[in-house]
Amino acid sequence: MGYQNWAGNFTYGATERIYPESMEHLQQLVREHRHIKISGSGHTFNSITDTHGVFISLRHWNRMLELNEERGTVTVEGGIAYGELCAALSETSYALHNLASLPHITVAGAAATATHGSGSGNASLAAAVEAIELMDADGELHTFSRGDREFAGVVVNLGALGIVTKLTLKVVPAYTMRQFVYENLPFSQLAVHAESIFSGAYSVSLFTDWQQPGFHQVWTKCREEDGASYEGHADYYGAVPASAPLHPLPDMQTENCTEQLGRPGMWHERLAHFRMEFTPSAGQELQSEYLMPREHVYEAVLAVHGLREHLAPLLFVSEVRTIAADDLWLSPFYNQPSAALHFTWRDDWQAVERVLPLLEEALAPFNARPHWGKLFTVPEATLQGQFEKLPQFRELIDKYDPDGKFGNEFLDTYIRAAQKP
Ligand SMILES: Cc1cc2nc3c(=O)[nH]c(=O)nc-3n(C[C@H](O)[C@H](O)[C@H](O)COP(=O)(O)OP(=O)(O)OC[C@H]3O[C@@H](n4cnc5c(N)ncnc54)[C@H](O)[C@@H]3O)c2cc1C
């Protein structure tokens, strides 16, 4: 059996995994091998990380290198996971603006696929990147800083341009948060109050299994400014405060989740839903997610609710979030304040593969773009039409990896086949 991703639903074609000891060693490996792929923490669900060559793991390249207080940035090595960076930052008075639902993923892997958290005013995790160091297919290093011509093309790179050896991220002064969970928010509240519901806290996530016309849980993460303490609401647009900690999935241990009930804690102990030392989500699962202009969120929720009979046997839970626009070429949030409809499926790809086209058809009127790291069946021509900067990104591939050393079938299908400008 070869190497598998975190979910165990994908077996990579890689023949070997190598852990480079130094930049010189990495350079030598890149020059020696015809096909290479960097594996981050393997939390993608599709074939984007696949290779039939060798895997290179930067798992030991996990240090915080420099905290620049004057510029408000932190520079990290290309293999660091968010959990490791949070631990290092917690020793300082600085923080990140946001996290995904789990801290287990690598910073470079998250940037590569435009991974996001939630919050009307919070852009994707990739949007916090201020500079990036990339080793190209010849083993040459390039640094791109915000404002450089190619910077916006290099951050969300799908692993297609080379090896990210360093990243510099924006930091903000450390802050405390409280997490409040509410139960039973009717879908109909989104018809009038969508904007206020999603901006009612620093980060808001709505969970549903679609069987009722409502969200069974609303997770709100509230940021406390200047020491001001934040109290929860007696009623969140009809939803009522939970009286005990909850897991978004039925029958799962709540100890896996970050602390709730409004208990104050540091930013990194509240922003993710799941705790670093525990299994996130269900563990044995598949995931899909679709990102669309935010104004369509209510209509999109109704469209998916119409498919509830198809979803019921396959779905653990869905999560609806919002993400601010960014300027990164292959980001699904490019120039677009967005809403995200996420699906955590039971581990049954054959059945999920039959339902995805129905879901994608229902979401097509809203120009829903698939998450780069999750499972989708959107035809390549449709997807290519959804990313206006894709032809320019392909020029970057031609420049930094002309012979497809970092290529694979996923990139050949969705990216390399795209037209040049
Ligand atoms: C339980 C669970 C919860 C999740 N929650 C969220 C969520 O809240 N929000 C969200 O948006 N996504 C979420 N995801 C998806 C996940 O964040 C993304 O798939 C992310 O890309 C995973 O990062 P990774 O390090 O595991 O990447 P990998 O799968 O290891 O790699 C992803 C891509 O990045 C490339 N890559 C990795 N490191 C480097 C490097 N150093 N240089 C160049 N290329 C590199 C790989 O080659 C590959 O192309 C979740 C996934 C799981 C399993």
Cα(211) to ligand 1 centroid in Å equals: 30
CB count, 10 Å around CB of 295?
A: 13
Task: Tell whether 303 and 370 lie within a shared domain.
Answer: yes
Q: Single out the residue in 360, 376, 392 at which a domain terminates.
A: 376
Ligand 1 atom 35: the closest Cα is on which residue?
159
- CB burial of residue 392 (10 Å; 0-12, 13-18, 19+): middle
Mutual orientation of helices 349-363 and 297-305 as an angle, nearest 10°?
A: 130
Same domain, 220 and 363: yes
Whether residue 109 has its Cβ less than 6 Å from ligand 1: yes
Flag whether pLDDT at 87 surpasses 80.
Answer: yes
Q: Is the CB of 78 under 6 A from ligand 1?
A: yes
- Exposure on the CB side of residue 278, measured as CA atoms within 13 A: 17
Check whether residue 255 and residue 356 sit in a common domain.
Answer: yes
Domain boundary among 114, 145, 173: 173
- Gap between the Cα atoms of 329 and 156, Å rounded: 7
pLDDT in the model for residue 153: 98
221 and 360, same structural domain?
yes
Q: pLDDT tens digit string along 308-341?
A: 999 989 999 999 999 999 999 999 999 999 999 9
Write the pLDDT tens digit of every residue in 131-142.
999 999 999 999
Task: Identify which of 37, 145, 46 has the alpha carbon closest to the alpha carbon of residue 410.
Answer: 46
Give yes or no: residues 104 and 249 share one domain.
Answer: no
The residue-averaged pLDDT of 343-363 equals: 97
- 363 and 235 in a single domain? The answer is yes
Q: Give mean pLDDT, residues 357-369.
A: 98
Instruction: Supply the pLDDT for residue 296.
Output: 98
| Percentage above 90 pLDDT, the chain | 87
With 60 as the cut, is the pLDDT of residue 420 above it?
A: no
Backbone angles phi, psi at 354, to 5 degrees: -80, -30
Is the pLDDT reported for residue 421 higher than 90? no
- Residues 102 and 197 grouped into a single domain: no
* Residue 227: per-residue pLDDT: 57
What is the distance in A from the centroid of ligand 1 to the CA of 417? Answer: 23
Vertex 395, ends 418 and 115: CA angle to 5°? 75
pLDDT at 375 (0 to 100): 98
Domain membership flag for residue 385: no
54-57, strands of its sheet edge to edge: 16-18, 54-57, 36-39
Mean pLDDT, range 252-279, rounded to an integer:
85
Q: What is the pLDDT of residue 226?
A: 59
Shared domain for 254 and 155, answered yes or no, is no
pLDDT of residue 224: 86
For residue 312, is it within any domain? yes
Do residues 190 and 90 both lie within one domain? no
The atom number, within ligand 1, closest to the CA of 39 reads 30
220 close to ligand 1 (CB < 6 Angstrom): no
Q: Which two tokens stand for residue 188?
A: 């109909």
CATH number, domain at 301? 3.30.70.2520
**Those residues with Cβ within 8 angstroms of residue 383's Cβ, 6 or more apart along the chain or in another chain:** 369, 370, 414
Does residue 70 register a pLDDT over 70?
A: yes
> What is the 8-class DSSP label of residue 169?
E
CA of 398 to the centre of ligand 1 (A): 24
In a domain, 96, yes or no: yes
Asked if residue 321 lies in contact with residue 117, where contact means CB atoms within 8 angstroms, the answer is yes
CA of 50 relative to ligand 1 center, distance in Å: 13
- Report yes or no on 354 lying in a domain: yes
- Pair 218, 204: CB distance under 8 Å: yes
Instruction: State residue 225's pLDDT score.
Output: 72
Whether 166 is in the pocket of ligand 1, judged by its Cβ within 6 Å, is no
> Does 281 map to a domain?
yes
Report the pLDDT value the prediction gives residue 230, as an integer from 0 to 100. Answer: 67
pLDDT at residue 256, rounded to an integer: 83
Question: What residues make up the domain containing 93?
Answer: 64-173
What gap in Å lies between CA 81 and CA 49, rounded to an integer? 17
Is the CB of residue 286 below 6 angstroms from any atom belonging to ligand 1? no
Q: What is the pLDDT of residues 18-50, one digit of tens each?
A: 999 999 999 999 999 999 999 999 999 999 999
Asked whether 223 and 180 are in contact (CB, 8 A), the reply is no
CA 337 from chain centre, in angstroms, equals 16
The pLDDT value given to residue 110: 98
* Residue tagged 């795209």 (tokens): 418
* Total of domains in the chain: 2
Distances (CA, A) of 88 to 85, 126, 138, 226, 319: 5, 19, 33, 23, 29
Q: Which residues pair with 18 in a beta bridge?
A: 56
Domain termination residue (choose one: 173, 201, 219)? 173
Q: Is residue 84 a part of any domain in this protein? A: yes
Q: What is the CATH number of the domain that holds 145?
A: 3.30.465.10
Tell whether 87 and 183 lie within a shared domain.
no
For ligand 1, the distance from its centroid to the CA atom of residue 233, given in whole angstroms, is 34
* H or E stretch at 302: helix 297-305
User: How confident is the model over 372-396, as a mean pLDDT?
Assistant: 96
Residues 217 and 276 in one domain: yes
Q: Is the CB of 164 under 6 A from ligand 1?
A: yes
The answer, yes or no, to whether any atom of ligand 1 lies below 6 A from the CB of 158, is yes
Ligand 1 binding pocket includes 268 (Cβ within 6 Å): no
| Ligand 1 within 6 A of CB of 163 | yes
Q: Which residues are within 8 A (CB) of 19 and not within 5 positions of it... i.e. 6 or more apart?
A: 56, 57, 58, 59, 60
- 299 within some domain: yes
Residue 346 forms part of a structural domain: yes
Q: What sign for the dihedral angle of Cα 237, 310, 246, 118?
A: negative
Q: Is a pLDDT exceeding 90 seen at residue 363?
A: yes
